[in-house]
């Protein structure tokens, strides 16, 4: 569930949703960056 799919009902609910969405995006970005590094190291050796 991304930021474009949430219908705000309260400030606390919105803040919680945005926080978790941003955390998930950062986590997935870090996983992807680590995966690309592994592929580059593997292809160079």
Residue 7 pLDDT exceeds 90: no
Express each pLDDT in 14-27 by its tens digit.
Answer: 888 889 989 999 99
Sequence-distant (6+) residues with CB within 8 A of 21 are 1, 2, 3, 6
pTM: 0.62
Residue whose token pair is 């680590």:
34
DSSP state of 5: G
Q: By the 8 A CB rule, do 1 and 14 touch?
A: no
Confidence at residue 45, expressed as pLDDT on a 0 to 100 scale = 60
Comparison of pLDDT for 13 and 26, the residue scoring more: 26
Element (H, E) at 26: helix 11-44
Q: By the 8 A CB rule, do 21 and 1 touch?
A: yes
Residue 1 pLDDT exceeds 60: no
């Amino acid at each position: 569930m991304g930021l474009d799919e949430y219908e705000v009902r309260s400030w606390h609910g919105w803040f919680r949703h945005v926080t978790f969405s941003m955390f998930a995006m950062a986590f997935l970005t870090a996983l992807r960056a680590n995966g690309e590094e592994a592929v580059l190291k593997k292809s160079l050796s």
